[in-house]
């Protein structure tokens, strides 16, 4: 841009003075040599301004009036055909949006894109027909007609894509997260951003076809690029708020970096102004030094950035309404595709800026670096894809196997609806997910750095020394982590199991890499480091045998009691409610004591440790209902033990 401004205000003597100033800095250094060459080329270019004037005056002689009208007709006829077809299909477009928008937004988008493609096809047919009437392809008018046709198709092709994403007149099929007014303004602004650089490039091609000469072309570029650059910067500034609304609309509500991304979306225009200022300077530099690659490199970066914006918008529109918390296969594939495009943009941008725009090294010198960057990009993509699919499988398994809750109420305990303990794999799955993520990140990062030519040996050695220092400085933490690894490896407990950890008891509610969370039956939550678990008693593993005593009168028929209890136990084992829980039926073990003129009889059963107390309560209730009908009475404590010792028989009977 500075060189362009100098070209506008400098005359012959001024240009010579510029060269003399630059020569004053000319030393054996690279900067001085570069400034000298640049000033000489600029001075040489400015001296050809009169030739540019003569070229422009002689230009009408190469095209007669019919040819000029046909060239104009390529643009006018193509645009007219596109407009007419779009108006004809307008009602069909709205009807399709109304039908598909509620069923599938993606189908509505494809429907609108198909109709816009028909309008674009009409433009292609009309423009090509008119271009064919200009003249033979090997003549100057024929070549110019071909250039006009290519420029028109390039411009309207981008307009077709932008219109498909924005749809100013049909919000049902819109992909961009903006309102109608913003969509209309953005469509105009994006067309301006595409149209101005395209005109700048095709002016150069037009001058080359019409035999303008390299010096005249360089002079024209130096003169008009600052104007186009200023117009692009104004376009960025004028439509900055509309584009900020587009970018901000793609930031997720629950994004961890939402505030930062919103701030970047609001101030995006700073990067846009810098980019087009650099692009204008690169175009002037390319014209002065006759290095066309400098301008083409940044044009490629611009195209890749637009592609990235459109892809990010499409992915956001496709996934923003998904109700599930666990990512779907489509989301995983979309994330991998998004990363692939981002890596492609980075590779193209690095080559376009360092090699084409700045010319920091020759293509031969860049070739090994290019190979390393591409290998690093492919490695990054493969590592990310591996992690996303591993995480997807783990997240899906966690979602399909929810953890049991330790905070259940009394009704659930009475009904036997206690949650079962989690499986071993489900218990350690969160730790496995973190471990897999860290391992893939470290190994993948080292592999990518190695592909880029960075020596990773000092990094590995430094990490080893740092890990050793941390282990010495935090022995208790290391002890907790190591103890936790062995507890989990030995399957000592699982989420949902009730354990006794010597000092505290409770149901395992979860754990981290260094501690376990135990929920007491009264609601308290204990967090115990693994290193403080001296021993663990698991009350919820495999099976449990419950023994309990009941007292009967001294004259009880013990054999009848045994047979009746056995019958009750077998009936309970055959019932669906208990047949999966009872492993051995309820039975009488025998008389264990005679006390207070009563028989103390012991009973037992073996069941799964889910809720043995429910089975015990059910068995006692059925015994209480069935035994008195057979003449088997439960023992009653002496009246003195109940506080009735001093009462007469009538009062005692009333008390009972």
Partner residues linked to 582 by β-bridges: 607
Q: Which fold has domain 544-642?
A: Alpha-Beta Plaits (3.30.70)
Give the pLDDT of residue 209: 87
For 183-187, 244-248, 355-359, which range has the lowest pLDDT when averaged over its residues?
355-359
Residues 123, 77 contacting (CB under 8 angstroms): no
Question: Does 48 or 578 have the greater pLDDT score?
Answer: 578
Share of the chain above pLDDT 70, in %: 77
For residues 14-38, average pLDDT: 48
Give the pLDDT of residue 408: 46
Q: Could you tell me the two tokens for 612?
A: 């043995």
Give the pLDDT of residue 654: 42
Residue 150 exposure: Cα atoms within 13 Å on the Cβ side: 13
Q: How confident is the model at residue 472 (pLDDT cuts 50, 70, 90)?
A: low
Q: Is the per-residue pLDDT at 255 higher than 70?
A: yes
Q: Could you tell me the two tokens for 585?
A: 């039926």
Give the pLDDT of residue 302: 78
Q: How confident is the model at residue 14 (pLDDT cuts 50, 70, 90)?
A: very low
Q: How confident is the model at residue 12 (pLDDT cuts 50, 70, 90)?
A: very low
Residues 518, 500 contacting (CB under 8 angstroms): no
Strand bridging mode 598-607 / 498-500: unpaired
Share of the chain above pLDDT 90, in %: 10
Q: Is the per-residue pLDDT at 10 higher than 70?
A: no
Q: What is the C-alpha separation between 223 and 284, in angstroms, rounded?
A: 9
Q: What is the pLDDT of residues 71-124, one digit of tens each?
A: 999 999 999 999 999 888 877 776 766 666 555 666 777 777 888 889 899 999
Q: How confident is the model at residue 323 (pLDDT cuts 50, 70, 90)?
A: very low
410-538 carries CATH number 2.60.40.10: no
Residues 204, 224 contacting (CB under 8 angstroms): no
Q: Could you tell me the two tokens for 35?
A: 């400034």
Q: Is the per-residue pLDDT at 631 higher than 90?
A: no
Q: What is the pLDDT of residues 140-181, one digit of tens each?
A: 888 899 999 999 999 999 898 898 888 887 777 778 888 889
Give the pLDDT of residue 332: 82
Give the pLDDT of residue 342: 85
For residues 7-27, average pLDDT: 38
Q: Is the per-residue pLDDT at 595 higher than 90?
A: no
- Tokens 């109700």: give the residue: 323
Q: In what order do the strands lie in the sheet with 598-607?
A: 544-553, 598-607, 582-594
Give the pLDDT of residue 123: 92
Residues 229, 186 contacting (CB under 8 angstroms): no
């Amino acid at each position: 841009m500075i060189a362009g401004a100098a070209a506008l205000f400098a005359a012959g003597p001024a240009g010579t003075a510029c060269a003399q100033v630059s020569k004053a800095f000319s030393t054996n250094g690279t900067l001085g040599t570069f400034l000298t060459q640049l000033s000489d080329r600029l001075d040489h270019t400015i001296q050809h301004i009169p030739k540019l004037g003569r070229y422009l005056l002689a230009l009408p002689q190469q095209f007669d009036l019919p040819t000029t009208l046909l060239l104009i007709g390529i643009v006018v006829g193509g645009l007219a055909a596109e407009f007419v077809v779009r108006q004809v299909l307008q009602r069909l477009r709205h009807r399709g949006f109304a039908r598909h928008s509620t069923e599938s937004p993606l189908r509505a988008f494809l429907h609108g894109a198909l109709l816009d493609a028909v309008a674009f096809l009409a433009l292609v047919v009309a423009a090509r027909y008119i271009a064919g009437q200009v003249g033979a392809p090997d003549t100057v008018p024929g070549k110019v007609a071909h250039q006009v046709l290519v420029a028109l198709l390039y411009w309207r092709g981008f307009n077709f894509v932008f219109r498909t994403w924005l749809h100013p007149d049909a919000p049902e099929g819109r992909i961009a997260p903006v309102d109608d007014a913003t969509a209309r303004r953005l469509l105009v602004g994006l067309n301006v951003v595409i149209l101005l650089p395209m005109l700048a490039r095709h002016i150069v091609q037009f001058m080359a076809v019409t035999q303008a000469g390299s010096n005249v072309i360089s002079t024209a570029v130096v003169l008009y690029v600052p104007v186009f650059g200023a117009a692009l910067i104004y376009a960025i500034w004028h439509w900055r708020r509309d584009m900020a609304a587009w970018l901000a609309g793609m930031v997720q509500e629950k994004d961890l970096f939402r505030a930062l991304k919103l701030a970047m979306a609001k101030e995006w225009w700073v990067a846009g102004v810098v980019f087009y200022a650099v692009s204008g300077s690169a175009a002037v530099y390319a014209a002065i030094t006759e290095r066309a690659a400098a301008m083409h490199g940044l044009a490629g970066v611009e195209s890749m950035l637009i592609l990235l914006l459109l892809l990010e918008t499409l992915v956001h529109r496709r996934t923003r309404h998904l109700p599930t918390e666990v990512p779907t296969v489509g989301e995983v594939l979309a994330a991998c595709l998004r990363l692939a495009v981002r890596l492609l943009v980075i590779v193209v941008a690095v080559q376009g800026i360092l090699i084409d725009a700045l010319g920091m090294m020759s293509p031969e010198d860049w070739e090994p670096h290019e190979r390393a960057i591409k290998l690093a990009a492919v490695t990054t993509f493969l590592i990310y894809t591996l992690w996303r699919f591993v995480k997807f499988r783990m997240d899906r398994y966690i979602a399909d196997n929810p953890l049991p809750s330790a905070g259940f109420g009394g009704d659930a305990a009475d009904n036997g609806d206690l949650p079962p303990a989690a499986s071993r794999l489900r218990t350690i799955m969160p730790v496995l997910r973190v471990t897999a993520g860290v391992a893939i990140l470290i190994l993948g990062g080292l592999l990518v750095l190695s592909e880029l030519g960075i020596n990773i040996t000092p990094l590995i050695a430094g990490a080893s020394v740092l890990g050793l220092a941390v282990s010495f400085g935090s022995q208790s933490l290391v002890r907790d982590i190591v103890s936790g690894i062995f507890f989990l490896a030995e399957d000592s407990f699982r989420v949902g199991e009730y354990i006794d950890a010597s000092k505290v008891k409770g149901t395992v509610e979860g754990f981290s890499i260094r501690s376990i969370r135990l929920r007491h039956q009264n609601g308290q939550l204990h967090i115990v480091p693994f290193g403080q678990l001296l021993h663990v008693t698991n009350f919820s593993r495999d099976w449990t045998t419950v023994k309990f005593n009941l007292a009967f009168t001294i004259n009880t028929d013990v054999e009848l009691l045994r047979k009746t209890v056995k019958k009750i136990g077998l009936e309970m084992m055959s019932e669906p409610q208990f047949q999966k829980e009872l492993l051995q039926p309820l039975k009488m073990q025998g008389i264990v004591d005679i006390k207070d003129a009563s028989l103390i009889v012991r009973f037992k059963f073996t069941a799964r440790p889910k809720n043995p107390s429910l089975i015990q309560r059910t068995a006692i209730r059925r015994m209480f209902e069935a035994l008195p009908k057979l003449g088997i009475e439960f023992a009653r404590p002496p009246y003195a033990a109940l506080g009735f010792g001093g009462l007469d028989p009538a009062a005692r009977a009333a008390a009972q």
